[in-house]
Amino acid sequence: MLTVGLTQYLVLAAFLFCCGLFVMTTKRNAVGILIGVELVLNAACLNLVAFSRYRVGTIDGQIATLFIIVLAAAEAAVAIAIFVNYYRTLATIDVDKGDELRG
């Protein structure tokens, strides 16, 4: 019999986290890496809300998620600005090309 509880939400969040981690580490498009970060942040948010509902019973998890959403938006804005600059400098969005600082 299928049920819904804390464990199901945590397994789903673990799956989202693993997908985001894979995207972050293997994609070569800088915007793709940003998409991976968003997936990981969503997994963390889902964990927080599920714990807040099923374990803690207070609203603190939801507040933390609210702050994560704000930080994710801010981070995306700065990252896109950096990518625009990167693209203007190197005429590509491939992160492997940006290795001028390599010793």
- Cβ–Cβ < 8 Å for 32, 1: no
Shorter beta-carbon distance to other proteins: residue 73 or 102? 73
Shorter beta-carbon distance to other proteins: residue 73 or 100? 73
Main-chain dihedrals φ then ψ at residue 20, nearest 5 degrees: -65, -40
98 binds other proteins (CB under 8 A): no
Residues 38-77 that bind other proteins (CB under 8 A): 38-39, 42, 45-46, 49-50, 52-55, 57, 59-60, 62-63, 65-67, 69-74, 76-77
Q: How many residues sit close enough to other proteins to count as binding (CB under 8 A)? A: 73
Half-sphere exposure for 33 (CA within 13 Å, toward CB): 14
Shorter beta-carbon distance to other proteins: residue 32 or 101? 32
Give Dmax over CA atoms of the chain in angstroms: 58
Please, what is the minimum distance in Å from the beta carbon of residue 28 to other proteins? 4
Quick one: 76 exposed, middle or buried, by C-beta within 10 A (0-12, 13-18, 19+)?
middle
Shorter beta-carbon distance to other proteins: residue 54 or 101? 54
Question: Residues 87, 98, 101, 102: which binds other proteins (CB under 8 A)?
Answer: 87
| Residues 6 or more apart in contact with residue 89 via CB below 8 angstroms | none
